[in-house]
């Protein structure tokens, strides 16, 4: 069971089950589709899209930006590429949907940085203390939220 | 001195609390050793050969006397009574206890200091000219620009998990004293033909295993665009820098592999879209930053003093010191004073707690309570009246800080080496000492003239060996210490990388080898005016090589 939090530390339900390898992309149903099968997503789909951190999001087709959810992947604790993918998606592609972080870096010690970069949902790594993480997002000011240049969302 | 406002203080205090919590979670087992390693590195804490090492940030090398006293306190209370100034203008303590580091950080926070981002794959301490604000050849004081950049880089949420460390340096003077061309980003503050201030930007320089001189990515960047341009560079690097091999992960490799034009194109495309956003400096931003620095009135009558000239004629030892350890100040009657941390029997860059306290007192008495750490591991008082030079020299002499060797052969840049560092192949400090003994005779050193001897214990190059006029690199050969020598490096405006002389030299012969090189130079130079670097560039490697290897075979 993966735990999903929003920007304020509130629990969210995950409406996007991962698409199984043998399953076809449903027409009108929330499901998480891997980037390799992006082409199978129909127009006006409710699907979410899972992007590896090596995807060039500046070249992402417009159709992907119309999806309600993009999930960015952190394959290891210290690999920060998806932070900059998030900046590109928000600042250059003006992606209006939900941006979810998942993977090895979605931990207590990086939540504030993830939030500052514009992620709206956090799929906590399995070993995380849920209450501690929720508390961090809900109130505690931390060093990384006190930056001055620039003032981020 | 940059004075913290409430916001700055809150940030540093919050980081102390955060790090205390991270340390606690590591000690109680709820944070893994590997993840704690990443987190503690971002707070300057290494686990070294014998003990942890804590690197404390000294932004652009600027320290107040109160901060220096706090460093003395930390050396005494938590360490073995000394600290080590580094080539990033920071200070390191080599013996703190891991459990006590949060307390050290809390002590530091009381004097507006911290260890944030002094290590780890993030944006490191911003460095600059140690003469900033006082140099005779300065366009503007670079420190407000450095501070602005420091504030932007501190806890930048997007750039805390870069492929590799990232170093930025500023220079604002004719002579580059900040080694900007060997930084990931090197920024020269310049004025364009229209009289506007802005920046010449270099990218992709760096030392380490693959030393590369940075290349110019922009001739002129408008003053207001400093942070957006840095942001664009960092964003492209964060996404495209290599992560498969840590030795190829610095931006220098990315720029080299992509080619400057292709890299610049991506940076410009990104910068164009963000330059008018929240990172654009607004009217007054820099002015506010300047106002946060303490100002002091210089004495307008300083040049009228006659005692300095008199002491110069009376005391040859004092006169000798003034020739090497003073530099010109922008205001007549004032001098910049070097405190040499390269004395006999002392590891380069090391300062004892007693010396720190005494230096703080001298700074209060003679130098408006401020001092600087330099990237070549000395200290500087930037604003000393000429009438105070003689008493200051006497005091420095008593403290062992008046060796008149600034810029000479024994003013060696050197990493801590085998004595402390787990990466090192070389007992750099012992070799530096041997070289010191060999060349201690000052007349001989003066005859050799200005020369930079840099030594690193391993390929990571903390001692900047590749940009030394003479570079020495410790290499391991079947468990034995050997030394590879390079000639002709420079980190100044004419930055270049040294050329290898040939096969490495064994430990027992390294001092002889340096002497052979120096003697060859003295024989080959056109006249006393031709310095080592100029001579080497003229005659090239052959005469040095011939002498060096002829003798080692004899």
- Is pLDDT above 50 for A138? yes
**Shortest Cα distance, chain B CAs vs residue A27, angstroms:** 33
**Shortest Cα distance, chain B CAs vs residue A35, angstroms:** 18
pLDDT digits (tens, 9 = 90+) for B95-147: 899 999 999 999 999 999 999 999 999 999 999 999 999 999 999 999 999 99
**Cβ contacts (< 8 Å) between A142 and chain B: which residues?**
14, 18
Q: What is the chain A residue with the closest CA to B120? A: A78
Would you state the pLDDT for residue A1? 61
Would you state the pLDDT for residue B118? 96
Enter the DSSP assignment of B282.
Answer: P
pLDDT digits (tens, 9 = 90+) for A48-57: 999 999 999 9
**How does residue A28 score in pLDDT terms, banded at 50, 70 and 90?**
confident
**Cβ contacts (< 8 Å) between B12 and chain A: which residues?**
143
Q: What is the chain B residue with the closest CA to A129? A: B30
Q: What is the chain A residue with the closest CA to B238? A: A81
**Shortest Cα distance, chain B CAs vs residue A122, angstroms:** 15
Phi, psi of B549 (to 5 degrees): -85, -25
Taking CA atoms, A103 is separated from A4, A79, B192, B324, in Å, by: 12, 10, 48, 57
Q: Which residues of chain B have a pLDDT value below 50?
A: 554
- Is pLDDT above 60 for A151? no
Confidence check on the interface: ipTM exceeds 0.85, yes or no: yes
Would you state the pLDDT for residue A150? 59
Given CB atoms, is A116 within the 8 Å cutoff of chain B?
yes
Tokens describing residue B322: 């003034």
Q: What is the chain B residue with the closest CA to A79? A: B161
Residues of chain B with CATH 3.90.480.20: 6-109, 302-399
Measured CA to CA, the distance from residue B206 to residue B183 in angstroms comes to 5
State whether A92 and B270 contact (CB < 8 Å): yes
Measured CA to CA, the distance from residue B488 to residue B448 in angstroms comes to 15
Among B38, B26, B264, B10, residue whose Cα is nearest residue B154: B10
Measured CA to CA, the distance from residue B546 to residue A24 in angstroms comes to 74
Given CB atoms, is A7 within the 8 Å cutoff of chain B?
no
**How does residue A152 score in pLDDT terms, banded at 50, 70 and 90?**
very low
H or E segment to which residue A109 belongs: none
- Which of B2, B102, B158 has the most A C-beta neighbours within 10 Å, making it the best mutation to test the interface with A? B158
CATH class assigned to B143-286:
alpha beta
Helix %, strand %, coil % for chain B, to 5?
A: 45, 20, 40
- Tell whether domain B413-553 is in CATH 3.30.413.10: yes
Q: What is the chain B residue with the closest CA to A128? A: B30
- Which of A55, A57, A84 has the most B C-beta neighbours within 10 Å, making it the best mutation to test the interface with B? A84
**Cβ contacts (< 8 Å) between B239 and chain A: which residues?**
81, 84-85, 88
Would you state the pLDDT for residue A153? 35
Taking CA atoms, B101 is separated from B257, B448, B487, in Å, by: 40, 45, 41
**Shortest Cα distance, chain A CAs vs residue B299, angstroms:** 36
Among B103, B94, B80, B87, residue whose Cα is nearest residue B20: B103
State whether A144 and B273 contact (CB < 8 Å): no
Query: Would you mind telling me the total number of residues written for chain A in this entry?
Result: 153
Given CB atoms, is B515 within the 8 Å cutoff of chain A?
no
Spell out the SS3 assignment of B458-510: CCCCCCCHHHCCEEEEEEEECCEEEEEEEECCECCCCCECCEECCCCEEHHHH
pLDDT digits (tens, 9 = 90+) for A86-101: 999 999 999 999 999 9
H or E segment to which residue B20 belongs: helix B6-27
Residues of chain B with CATH 3.30.413.10: 143-286, 413-553
**How does residue A136 score in pLDDT terms, banded at 50, 70 and 90?**
very high
Measured CA to CA, the distance from residue B55 to residue B90 in angstroms comes to 7
**Cβ contacts (< 8 Å) between B123 and chain A: which residues?**
none
**Cβ contacts (< 8 Å) between A78 and chain B: which residues?**
38, 121, 161
- Tell whether domain B302-399 is in CATH 1.20.58.220: no
The domain B6-109 is placed in CATH, from the list 1.20.58.1690, 3.40.980.10, 3.20.20.60, 3.90.480.20, at 3.90.480.20
B399 burial type by CB count under 10 A (0-12 exposed, 13-18 middle, 19+ buried): middle
Nearest to B157 among A83, A85, A129 (CB): A83
For A139, the 3-state DSSP assignment is coil
State whether B161 and A152 contact (CB < 8 Å): no
- Is pLDDT above 70 for A108? yes
Measured CA to CA, the distance from residue B337 to residue B315 in angstroms comes to 18
pLDDT digits (tens, 9 = 90+) for B400-413: 999 999 999 999 99
Would you state the pLDDT for residue B441? 87
Q: What is the chain B residue with the closest CA to A113? A: B157
């Amino acid at each position: 069971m993966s735990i999903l939090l929003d920007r304020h530390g509130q629990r969210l339900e995950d409406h996007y089950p991962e698409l199984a390898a043998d399953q076809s992309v449903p027409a009108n149903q929330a499901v998480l589709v891997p980037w390799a099968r992006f082409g199978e997503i129909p127009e006006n789909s409710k699907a979410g899209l899972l992007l590896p951190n090596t995807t060039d999001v500046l070249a992402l087709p417009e159709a992907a930006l119309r999806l309600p959810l993009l999930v960015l992947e952190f394959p290891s604790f210290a690999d920060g590429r998806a932070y900059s993918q998030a900046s590109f998606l928000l600042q250059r592609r003006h992606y209006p949907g939900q941006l979810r972080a998942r993977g090895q870096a979605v931990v207590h010690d990086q939540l504030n940085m993830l939030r500052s970069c514009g992620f709206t949902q956090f799929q906590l790594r399995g070993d995380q203390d849920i209450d501690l993480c929720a508390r961090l997002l809900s109130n505690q000011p931390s060093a990384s939220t006190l930056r001055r240049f620039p003032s981020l969302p | 001195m940059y004075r913290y406002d409430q916001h700055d203080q809150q940030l540093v205090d919050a980081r102390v609390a955060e790090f205390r919590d991270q340390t606690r979670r590591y000690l109680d087992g709820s944070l893994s050793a590997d993840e704690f390693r990443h987190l503690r590195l971002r707070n300057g804490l290494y686990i070294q050969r014998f003990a942890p090492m804590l690197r404390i940030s000294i932004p652009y090398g600027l320290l107040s006397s109160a901060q220096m006293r706090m460093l003395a306190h930390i050396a005494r209370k938590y360490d073995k009574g000394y600290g080590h100034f580094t080539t990033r203008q920071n200070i390191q303590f080599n013996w703190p206890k891991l459990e006590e580091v949060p307390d050290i950080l809390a002590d530091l926070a009381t004097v507006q200091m911290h260890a944030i981002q002094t290590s780890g794959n993030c944006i490191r301490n911003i460095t600059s000219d140690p003469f900033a604000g006082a140099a005779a050849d300065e366009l503007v004081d670079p420190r407000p620009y450095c501070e602005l950049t420091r504030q932007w880089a501190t806890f930048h949420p997007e750039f805390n998990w870069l492929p590799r460390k990232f170093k930025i340096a500023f220079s604002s003077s004719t002579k580059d004293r900040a080694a900007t061309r060997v930084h990931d980003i090197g920024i020269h503050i310049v004025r364009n033909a229209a009289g506007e201030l802005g920046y010449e930007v270099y990218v992709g320089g760096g030392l380490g295993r693959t030393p590369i001189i940075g290349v110019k990515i922009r001739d002129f960047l408008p003053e207001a665009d400093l942070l957006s341009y840095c942001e664009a560079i960092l964003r492209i690097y964060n996404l495209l820098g290599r992560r498969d091999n840590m030795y190829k992960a610095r931006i220098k490799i990315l720029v080299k592999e992509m080619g400057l034009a292709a890299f610049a194109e991506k940076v410009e495309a990104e910068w164009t879209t963000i330059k008018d956003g929240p990172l654009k400096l607004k009217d007054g931003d820099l002015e506010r930053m300047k106002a946060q620095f303490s100002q002091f009135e210089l004495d307008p009558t300083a040049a009228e003093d006659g005692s300095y000239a008199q002491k110069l004629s009376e005391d040859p030892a004092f006169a000798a010191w003034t020739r090497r350890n003073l530099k010109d100040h922008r205001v007549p009657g004032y001098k910049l004073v070097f405190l040499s941390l390269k004395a006999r029997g002392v590891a380069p860059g090391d300062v004892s707690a007693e010396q720190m306290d005494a230096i703080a007192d001298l700074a209060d008495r003679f130098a408006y309570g401020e001092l600087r750490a330099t990237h070549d591991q000395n200290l500087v008082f930037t604003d000393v009246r000429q009438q105070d030079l003689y008493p200051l020299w006497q005091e420095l002499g008593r403290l062992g800080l008046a060796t008149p060797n600034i810029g000479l052969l024994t003013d060696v840049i050197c990493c801590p080496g085998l004595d402390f560092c787990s990466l090192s192949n070389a007992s750099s400090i012992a070799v530096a000492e041997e070289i010191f003994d060999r060349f201690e005779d000052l007349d001989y050193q003066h005859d050799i003239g200005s020369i930079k001897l840099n030594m690193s214990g391993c390929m990571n190059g903390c001692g900047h060996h590749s940009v030394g006029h003479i570079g020495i690199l410790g290499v391991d050969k079947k468990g034995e210490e050997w030394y590879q020598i390079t000639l002709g490096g420079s980190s100044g405006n004419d930055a270049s990388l040294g050329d290898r002389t040939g096969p490495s030299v064994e430990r027992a012969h390294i001092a002889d080898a340096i002497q052979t090189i120096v003697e060859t130079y003295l024989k080959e130079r056109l006249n006393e005016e031709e310095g080592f670097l100029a001579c080497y560039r003229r005659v090239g490697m052959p005469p040095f090589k011939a002498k060096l290897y002829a003798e080692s075979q004899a």
